[in-house]
Amino acid sequence: MKKTVLICIITIIICLAFSGCSHTHTFGDWKITKQATCKEEGERVRSCECGEIQTEKIELTDHKWKAATCTSPKICTVCNAKEGSSLGHNKYGYSCSRCGISLVTKKDVPNIIDITSLRYYIDSLGGMDQYITFKNKSSSKTIKYVYFDVSFYNTVGDITKNEIGGDSNVVLQYTGPLKPGRSSGKITWETCFYCKDFGGKMKFNSIKIEYTDGSKITLEESMADYAVSSWR
């Protein structure tokens, strides 16, 4: 009797096993559980109504390249991979025609602008009048605007602040036109800065020049002082 029962149980188990194998899975749509990138594989899954789950890897994607620039090679915005080399600057005149950066050297400055006179006057209230005379040294371009960004030092050698507004610099704008090779004459900016403790020294933070043809040149701090004849 026991032997017969055991045989029946084994038979039932075998039947159930074969019954499971004969089931045809009906899977639903794939669902992405992890997006693939150029750095890591992704993953997707789908399931059958019986509970069976299938998992698949998703291949790496292509890099998302950011084009090379004058100073940087092509670079992937996702994984920072780099390819190739930078383009280098394409010098046209005194700037790069591709990125617009100034490529002016110290030797170039006297051939761009020449500040021949630099004076000031301070009244009893500390109001400063600034006088500048300069020459357009370009052989072909007419100056439209010049922006002189300047700072002043106090009697102990520190950059001083405007007593009205608290700024440590002032931008003096010249409006042309000033033809090639011509002098501006004495340009005056009245009470452009208030500083009772001015020590007699100033510096140019930058000089920005715009020409009537639309081109621009910026002399940054390291170059701007070379525009002054007596400071070279």
DSSP states of 67-91 as a string? Answer: PP-SSS-EEETTT--EES------E
Residue 134 φ/ψ, nearest 5 degrees? -145, 165
**What per-residue confidence (pLDDT) applies to 7?**
61
**What per-residue confidence (pLDDT) applies to 126?**
85
DSSP state of 135: E
List the structure tokens of 57.
Answer: 């890897």
22 domain residue, yes or no: no
Q: Residues with Cβ < 8 Å from 153, sequence gap 6 or more? A: 159, 160, 198, 199, 200, 201, 202, 203
The per-residue pLDDT for range 85-96, each reduced to its tens digit, is: 999 999 888 888
88 domain residue, yes or no: no
Interatomic CA distance for residues 141 and 97, integer angstroms? 17
126 domain residue, yes or no: yes
Contact status, residue 100 vs residue 110, Cβ threshold 8 Å? no
CATH of residue 214's domain is 2.60.40
Q: For the residues of 12-58, what is the DSSP string, one character each?
A: HHHHHHHHHHTPPP-B---EEEE---SSS-EEEEEEBTTS-EEEEEE
DSSP state of 142: -
144 domain residue, yes or no: yes
Q: For the chain, what is the total number of helices (H) and then of strands (E)? A: 2, 15
**What per-residue confidence (pLDDT) applies to 22?**
57
Q: 210: which strand partners?
A: 145, 216
pTM to 2 decimal places: 0.66
Low-confidence residues in the chain, pLDDT < 70: 1-22
211 domain residue, yes or no: yes
Q: What is the tally of structural domains in the chain?
A: 1
Q: Which domain holds residue 175?
A: 104-231
14 domain residue, yes or no: no
The per-residue pLDDT for range 33-72, each reduced to its tens digit, is: 999 999 999 999 999 988 899 999 999 999 999 999 999 9
**What per-residue confidence (pLDDT) applies to 199?**
87
DSSP state of 160: P
**What per-residue confidence (pLDDT) applies to 9?**
62
86 domain residue, yes or no: no
78 domain residue, yes or no: no
Cα Rg, the chain, nearest whole Å: 38
SS3 state at 175: strand
